[in-house]
Structures are given as structure tokens and as C-alpha cells.
Amino acid sequence: MNQVKVDDRLKEVFRAVFEDEELQVAGSTTAADVEGWDSVAHINLIFAIEEEFGIQFSSRELEEIRNVGDLQAIISQRAP
């Protein structure tokens, strides 16, 4: 999938989950950078991403995600 398209769609998912239309995320963004990104928000975010992109993260992938860039890389490789 085109990286720009992934980035744009992923930003929209973040904005919806965190209910912030102005939220900006970059590859280096982590949970510590986003207000309200706690464990519950993380679960909601992962579910929303899986739904948006038609993928399901494996347990191993979830363990390896450290920032938004890691999410982008997995989505780019796996999304139809």
C-alpha cells in the first residue's frame, strides 16, 4: 500500500480514537507523546486500525510496536 495513503488513513484513525481533529502524529510518535494514550486507548486504537486496514496484528507484531512508525511499517506490508 502507498505510504502516503497509509499515513493519511492512520492519522484519521488516531484523530477518531483520541477525539482530536488537530492531532498530529509522525513516525517517531509514542504513547508518551499523545495525551490520553493509556492502555484502554491503546486497545481501542489497535482495534480501530485493524478495522480500517482490514488486517489483524499478531501477538508478536503487537509486542514489537514501539512507535507510530512501527505501525506504519506493518500496515504498509500487510494491508491489501
- Expressed as residue numbers, the domain containing 73 is 3-78
Contact (Cβ atoms closer than 8 angstroms) between residue 45 and residue 17: yes
Number of domains in the chain: 1
CATH, residue 27 = 1.10.1200.10
Encode pLDDT of 35-79 as tens digits.
Answer: 999 999 999 999 999 999 999 999 999 999 999 999 999 999 988
Q: Which residues contact 70 (CB under 8 A, 6 or more apart)?
A: 64
Task: Dump pLDDT digits (tens) for 5-16.
Answer: 999 999 999 999
- Residue 79's SS3 state is coil
